[in-house]
Amino acid sequence: MLNDSINSLNPEQKKAVLTTEGPLLILAGAGSGKTRVLTHRIAYLIEQGVRPYNILAITFTNKAAREMKERVCAITPEGDDVWVSTFHSSCVRILRREADKMGYDSRFSIYDADDSERLIREILKGMNISDKVLKPSSVLAEISAQKDKLIGPEKYAKLTEKDFRLKKISDIYTAYQKHLKSNNAMDFDDLIYVCTELFRTRPDVLEKWQDRFRYILVDEYQDTNASQYRLVSMLAQKYGNLCVVGDDDQSIYGWRGADIRNILDFEKDFKDTVVIRLEQNYRSGANILNAANAVIKNNVMRKTKTLRTAAGAGNMLHFYRARSDIEESAFIAEKIAEGVSHGGRYSDYAILYRNNSLSRVLEEGLIRAGIPYRLFGGVRFYGRREIMDILSYLKAICNPGDDMPIRRIINVPKRGIGDTTVAKLAEAAEENGISFYTALLSADAVPSLKGKTKQLEKFAELLVDLRDKAESESVSELIEDILDDTGYRSELEKENTDEARGRLENLQELVNKAVEYEQDNENADLAGFLEEVALVADVDAYTDNADTAVLMTLHSSKGLEFPTVFIAAFEEGIFPGFRAITSGKASDMEEERRLCYVGITRAKEELYFTSARERMQYGSRVANLPSRFLEEIPPDIVEHLSDDRAATENRRSFAYGANRVRPKPVNSYRMPEPKQAVTDFGPGDKVRHIKFGIGTVAAMEEKRDGSFEITVDFDNMGRRTVNSAFANLKKV
């Protein structure tokens, strides 16, 4: 059966499956069947006598890992014993066994971005540094970047001695790592950083895991950063059987640390590498592939390859230039409605854009047309307030040595324990060299807490009781007990609003998630559940079983495919972005071009580029030229849709309504300068927006012009990013 399946592969795919020994670089173009190659390669290794136990396959998302595991198991029953997981999940599994050698307990907590940012904010407060002088999100990004480059606090301190600002960040980095260690916690970046440090400092441990993983396969290798590269190199050093699969033309994450040189220099780093190119595309028609090839060939930093297909030319590509962004959204909605009326499904359509801020007008166009849609990339389920609250209870139960979750929930629901009391308790813990939890259990011995001991004792008893229940209950049962015993559920039921009911539904979904976890894992426990939740990526939330159109950024679309794709706002200054145009760095423009390549190759049958002669940006209507990438596509495969007067007037009527004032045309291509704006709020504060309603400020980033780019999690509209100069947010 396996031989028949291998023989059905094309020559390049077959060679990639049968080349089992030594370093192998598989350059897999978009839609070239790389997952099929990887799964068959694993099955073939097992058939050749390699123990499944000795095979490690690394992916970048849990979704990809699940798909690969399922497909391997469908080919061979022994596939279940192969270790298939993401980089971070692999490191967690190793560290659960080896953490004691790095000074951690095996039940260490994993901090998400919100946990880390709260800790940074507390450290800033302790150092008397304003979070407007040093933004917690910016500090955290710098620390993350250093960990990705395997630069620890001590080395970073030496590198930043002569820079006042970076020296401050260095001090924060040192304090941050100290707090994590004392809380028996690691952040997301630590999982790989600590694992590589373990291997570097303990050769005996490294050799143990090298003997375990004699055959290593890495998917999406073009997206690896320095720490991931180092981890894989160390594990593969002894046996040399490293197979990496990737496409340098789809390297679009340089802004978050991915190093395209890892795949471009693979042959230099690993001697006697065999290189195989997968260029046969099984997704799109020739016109779409010709457009992708024509755009990407303008990049210099790439390995030459050309996508081809056995299918026909397929449909022409389409370019539509609307008079305004509102008419652009109306055109897209009209095309989707037209397709559905001819027997299509809403889920056949994806609208892709360069920046999240572009989604608003597109959403409004779909709403006016009555087209159901999903906005991919809004507030993460696990980032919602009520979910984070209950997860904090679970974290406090699992690892009471970690004070961050306890401090989050100590007054949730409200139980009369204010910030001053928490600060006094934290001070007592630090003075006595004990954990926050231990101090909580003996709060009656702290003189400064008199008057609050009753509330603190009651909360401590609640945690002790829940920890006792966790010993005998399943995770789903424990969540139900938390909701009941804390009064969290009853408080929302008493509130009796649409928002409260929505939050109750979200909490029920968390219970459902716990039940699914218990059904899927024979040895399900609380630590395992928290680990699985912590390692969920945004893309894992995407499913194609709902009949809705999809809106998402081009970055989020990587790895997905749709019958019809719209690339909206295909304009200079937006795509490619203004920074790439003005930076003067060829690498910036090349990454934008790779992003365009990714967007084009998401389309299976139909591809539209849309733009507007004018659109609202920074509070004013501006005009942008069509994207330069349009000029790189052969003109004979692009249909320029005419601005037929009757059709345009109908669309304008639909887009604006009878009494809507139409925007005046503008002639300038210069973007206006935003006004300065002073804010009286910061991250964590509640604000009101005239249209989006009430939300919580998640992050603020100061721009060069003095305004702030503000990210807000709105209660009813999800996450939005607005500019302080125009948004007129009010603190509530």
Of 323, 380, 593, 602, catalytic: 602
Rounded to the nearest angstrom, the gap between the alpha carbon of residue 118 and the centroid of all alpha carbons in its chain is 19
Scan for tokens 């109306």, then name that residue. Answer: 330
**What is the crossing angle of helices 113-126 and 136-148, to 10°?**
110
User: Is 467 assigned a catalytic role?
Assistant: no
Scan for tokens 């139900």, then name that residue. Answer: 480
Total Cβ atoms within 10 A of residue 727? 23
Query: CB–CB of 637/290 below 8 Å?
Result: yes
DSSP category for residue 571: B
Q: How far apart are CA 147 and CA 81, in angstroms?
A: 31
Of 13, 34, 395, 615, catalytic: 34
Of 220, 223, 249, 590, catalytic: 220
**What is the crossing angle of helices 325-341 and 359-369, to 10°?**
40
Total Cβ atoms within 10 A of residue 320? 21
DSSP track, 574-624: BTTBHHHHHS--HHHHHHHHHHHHHHHTTEEEEEEEEEESSEEETTEEE--
Beta strands 109-111 and 185-187, pairing class:
parallel
Q: How far apart are CA 246 and CA 251, in angstroms?
A: 9
Query: CB–CB of 153/123 below 8 Å?
Result: no
Q: Which residues on neighbouring strands pair with residue 109, listed in sequence order? A: 185
**What is the crossing angle of helices 645-656 and 359-369, to 10°?**
100
Enumerate residues 6+ apart whose C-beta is below 8 A from 249.
29, 30, 296, 299, 302, 305, 594, 597
DSSP track, 280-322: B-SSS-HHHHHHHHHHHTT-SSS-----B-SS---SPEEEEEE
User: Is 602 assigned a catalytic role?
Assistant: yes
User: Is 35 assigned a catalytic role?
Assistant: yes
Strand, helix or coil at 57?
A: strand
Q: Which residues on neighbouring strands pair with residue 56, listed in sequence order? A: 83, 216
Of 250, 455, 564, 617, catalytic: 250
User: Is 631 assigned a catalytic role?
Assistant: no
Catalytic positions: 34-35, 219-220, 250, 602
